[in-house]
Amino acid sequence: MACNVANRTAIFFSLAIILVSAPRVTAAMAAVHTVIDTNEQFLEVCCMGNFEQMRENFTLDADAINFLCRDERGNTGLHLAVLAGNGTLCKFLLERHLLLCTLTNDDQETALSLAALQASQGNSSMLNLFF
């Protein structure tokens, strides 16, 4: 009989611990979800080349953004900003995370190589940002 009481007590305390820690786990999961959403929004803004939206929405909360996050093709925000042709946005990103210029996408292209490709097609303004 003592064994059953001990088991019931252990089960009770286990349930109490789960119930007490559940709000913390839920909050941690929500924080992770927010960061993922922020990264997706960050990449979307880079893809659109919208510097004004980037400045308004992401400069104050820069700690929450992973500037090294990538889209499904391995492009960083800098890759996407170069492809969008927004030099101001590229400069903004490079000032915050210089490492971005060394990262390659799934096609082994750096943002610099994409800018060089654009320069070969007549748009050299992007290439000048890297030098």
Instruction: Please write the tens of the pLDDT for every residue from 71-89.
Output: 999 999 999 999 998 888 8
- The whole-number average pLDDT for the span 20-38 is 44
Full DSSP string of the chain: -HHHHHHHHHHHHHHHHHHHHHHHHHHHHHHHHHHHHHHHHHHHHHHHT-HHHHHHHHSTTGGG--TT---TTS--HHHHHHHHT-HHHHHHHHHH-GGGGG---TTS--HHHHHHHHHHTT--HHHHTT-
pLDDT in tens, 36-74: 357 888 888 888 888 887 777 665 455 666 888 899 999
- What is the average pLDDT value for the chain, to the nearest integer? 74
Q: Which residue ranges form the domains of the chain, and what is each CATH number?
A: 32-128 (1.25.40.20)
